[in-house]
């Protein structure tokens, strides 16, 4: 809020802060790849799965690959999401004229950068324990939602009731967009790839 209001010397600019966050993400990927290559396997979840079908095993393999991609490319994923997050937060606060769209973009950059540095630092501290890393990754989304909620609560001086209503609006909007994107992805896979044909046997 201070940066948007014109205070520049006191704060690191958002692009520099985002660069630091991306660096932390890259450091996590490097440490994970070089020193803990099996940290993202999460094999402990399948210890009692002796009677799995081929379909179950295929689903497990897909989930392993998805976990690996999600962790390795988390920075790129969030950078791609930043414009959408800025647009969504502007829509959620459409009745508040305090910040325009570009300022919402700045808010989301700062918020993402801050939380990314925290999360990747925690990830690196627990890389030695795959089980602990998995549990932390499971609460990651809830932590991010809570952090962003707190940021907007402070910036807009909201009441608890207003905050909960805005959060509900955001979650509905986000879920709707995710559903539409997932539907587009499924249609693309069905029409333009042979993935489903390969799965038929």
Residues 151 and 107: beta-carbon distance below 8 Å: yes
Predicted structure pTM score: 0.77
Quote the radius of gyration of the chain (alpha carbons, Å).
20
b/e 176-193 (16+ beta carbons within 10 angstroms → b): eeeeeeeeeeeeeeeeee
- pLDDT at residue 148 in the model: 93
- pLDDT at residue 64 in the model: 67
What φ, ψ does residue 39 adopt, rounded to 5°? Answer: -65, -30
**pLDDT tens, position by position, for the chain (201 residues)?**
888 888 888 888 899 999 999 888 888 888 888 888 777 776 665 555 555 666 666 666 666 666 667 777 777 877 888 888 899 999 999 988 889 999 999 999 999 999 989 988 998 898 888 888 888 888 888 898 999 999 999 999 999 999 999 999 999 988 898 888 888 877 877 777 665 565 555
Domain ranges of the chain: 14-156
Residues 58 and 199: beta-carbon distance below 8 Å: yes
SS3 labels along the chain: CCCCCCCCCCCCCHHHHHHHHHHHHHHHHHHHHHHCCCCCCCHHHHCCCCCCCHHHHHHHHHHHHHHHHHHHCHHHHHHHHHHHHHHHHHHHCCCCCCCCHHHHHHHHHHHHHHHHHHHHHHHHHCCCCHHHHHHHHHHHHHHHHHHHHHHHHHHCCCCHHHHHHHHHHHHHHHHHHHHHHHHHHHHHHHHHCCHHHHHCC
């Amino acid at each position: 809020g201070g940066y948007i209001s014109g205070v520049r010397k006191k704060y690191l600019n958002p692009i520099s802060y985002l660069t630091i966050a991306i660096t932390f993400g890259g450091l996590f990927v490097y440490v994970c790849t070089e020193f803990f290559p099996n940290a993202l396997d999460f094999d402990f979840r399948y210890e009692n799965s002796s009677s799995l079908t081929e379909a179950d095993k295929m689903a497990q393999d897909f989930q392993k690959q998805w976990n690996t991609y999600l962790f390795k490319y988390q920075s790129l994923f969030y950078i791609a999401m930043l414009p959408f997050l800025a647009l969504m937060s502007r829509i959620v606060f459409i009745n508040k004229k305090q910040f325009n769209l570009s300022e919402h973009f700045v808010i989301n950059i700062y918020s993402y950068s801050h939380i990314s540095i925290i999360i990747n630092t925690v990830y690196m501290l627990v890389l030695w324990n795959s089980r602990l890393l998995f549990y932390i990754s499971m609460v990651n989304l809830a932590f991010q939602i809570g952090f962003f909620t707190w940021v907007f609560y402070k910036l807009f001086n909201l009441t608890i009731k207003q905050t909960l209503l805005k959060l509900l609006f955001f979650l509905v909007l986000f879920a709707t967009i995710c559903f539409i994107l997932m539907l587009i992805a499924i249609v693309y896979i069905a029409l333009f790839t042979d993935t489903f044909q390969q799965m038929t046997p």
